[in-house]
Chain A
Amino acid sequence: MREIKKLRYNNPMENNLNQEIIEHLMHPKNYGPLDNPTGVGVGHSEQTGEFVIFYLRSQNNRLEAVTYATNGCQDTVVFGSMFTEMIQGETFEYAQKAAQKLHQKVMEGSPKQQACATMVLQSFEAAKIHEERQKQGFDEELHTIEIGMDCEVEE
């Protein structure tokens, strides 16, 4: 498997803002609903009402298109923007590895940042589960994973 291209990016969980992060804040990549998705997943915090909704469209084990939307904070926006940019056009295996790598990386960040990243990654998981269930014949609009952490966590 190729090296995870995410490593090209600066860590979104760093505390200083660089131009790349500013760009993601000003123009989040892959933002908004996706036409004809094959999987739609939601990471949701009941406690705060925050959510990330993740859309994916795959063919032959490749993520043709991925998008997301959120009502969460800016860390969530930047993380979603970077993560979707990173896995767009890649295989599921690649995306899985990338998600694991990112998860390890964010565990070095603050609890708030960990919560934001977890919400994005869990919404991707939920989208994959939804796609799988669709293939099994379940007729569901989306799949939701409830998340205990929220990004209002005090640092």
Chain B
Amino acid sequence: MTHNTLFQAKHQLWLKIAFASFALNDPRIKSRLYEFSQIEFRHLKWLAQSLYEENTPYDYERDPHFSIENETSFGLINHLLQAIQTVHLSYPDTPLCERMHHDEEYIVHTLNAYLTTTNDERITAFNRSRIWCEGTLNEVETDALTLFLFEELYKEYELIMVYFYQHIRATTPAQVTHFQDLIDESHFHLRSFGEMMAQLGILSLPRTLHPRTYQITDREKFLKGGIVEEENAKEECKKLSSAIGDEKLSAFFEFINFQESYHIEIMKKLLKEL
């Protein structure tokens, strides 16, 4: 396996574990899997750093048949186990890969324990029901929420991966901090939107990023465009918040809207850093 293929496999493994955590119902397993997905993301960062330092190209290409849809919790857990075992076969003998292997041995151990200590459950995250269980939404509200979630889930994934690309190439400590903040914020949004999509039965992977999206040469233009995009995202949140009668949902989108405001401030700081 080439370095880039390993990077691609690890990228997919991060997504698989994160989206499995969104899809599953058991709060204990959900939360544990999400923590594991964050460990996988750190692996990805370390791997990207080492590839960048070696001047080895890598990209965000994914297997076109890559999927997470499963009908049962055990089916999904077995799918994760298989994915981890496949990645293990490709680790070269390096301290980083040794660390990653050890982490994943524990993940495998935990997943196997779930297979013996929990009950197999039907997964509803992919059933396309579009029923919001936490309140009543009419058809127009459900459609608005659906479109918003598809739009924003992709955008948050795109932002994570674009900031991640810039983070690896950061040239000052302040840039490292700011890009890391933006990545962390987008992880929270990705998780929130992913879990909402799972509740609606429309959870799906964000589409693959084209290299034109993340291989950015003009950072200033990228940041200025990013500020405009954040402002648009704020507007979308505001629109959705006022379009949806459900008080809890409306409050959540107001909260997200406010977070977007601070992203703009972070990007302004980054602009000053250039």
Interface residues of A, Cβ cutoff 8 Å to B? 15-17, 19, 22-23, 25-28, 31-33, 48-49, 51, 53, 69-71, 73-74, 77, 152
Q: State in angstroms the CA–CA spacing of A69 and B210 once bound together.
A: 7
Across the interface, which residues of A come within 8 angstroms of B228, CB to CB?
Answer: 48
Residues of B within 8 A of A49 (CB): 221, 225
Knowing A22-B130, A22-B146, A49-B225, the reply to whether A31 touches B207 (Cβ < 8 A) is: yes
8 Å CB contact of A17 from B64, B146, B158, B225? B146
CB atoms of B212 and A27 under 8 A apart: no
Within 8 A of A (CB), among B113-165: 128, 130, 139, 143, 146-147, 150-151, 154, 158
Shortest CB-to-CB span from A57 to chain B, Å, is: 15
Minimum C-beta distance from B197 to chain A (A)? 9
> Chain A's nearest CB lies how many Å from the CB of B27?
25
Which residues of B are in contact with A by a Cβ distance under 8 Å?
Answer: 64, 128, 130, 139, 143, 146-147, 150-151, 154, 158, 202, 204, 207-210, 212-213, 221, 225, 228, 232
B146 touching A26, Cβ below 8 Å: no
What are some 17 contacts across the A-B interface (CB < 8 A)? A15-B143, A17-B147, A19-B128, A25-B146, A25-B150, A25-B202, A25-B204, A26-B204, A27-B204, A28-B207, A32-B64, A48-B225, A49-B221, A53-B212, A71-B213, A74-B147, A74-B151
Contacts of B139 in A (CB 8 A): 16
A49 to B218, CA, bound (A): 12
* Beta-carbon contact of A53 and B207 below 8 Å: no
* Chain A hits for B147, CB < 8 A: 17, 74
Residues of chain A contacted by B209 (CB below 8 angstroms): 71
B210 and A17 form a contact (CB under 8 A): no
B208 A31 Cβ-Cβ under 8 A:
yes
Interface centre among A32, A49, A77 (most CB of B within 10 A): A49
Rounded to whole angstroms, the CA-CA distance of A143 and B130 in the bound complex is: 40
Closest Cβ of chain A: how far from B226's Cβ, in Å? 10
Determine the distance from Cα of A88 to Cα of B150 in the docked complex, in whole angstroms.
25
Are A73 and B151 CB-contacts (below 8 A) given A17-B143, A22-B202, A25-B204?
yes
* Apart from A26-B204, A32-B64, A53-B210: 17 A-B pairs, beta carbons within 8 A: A16-B139, A16-B143, A22-B130, A22-B146, A22-B202, A25-B146, A25-B204, A27-B204, A32-B208, A53-B212, A71-B158, A71-B209, A71-B212, A74-B151, A74-B154, A77-B207, A152-B232
Q: How far is the CB of B166 from chain A (nearest CB, A)?
A: 15
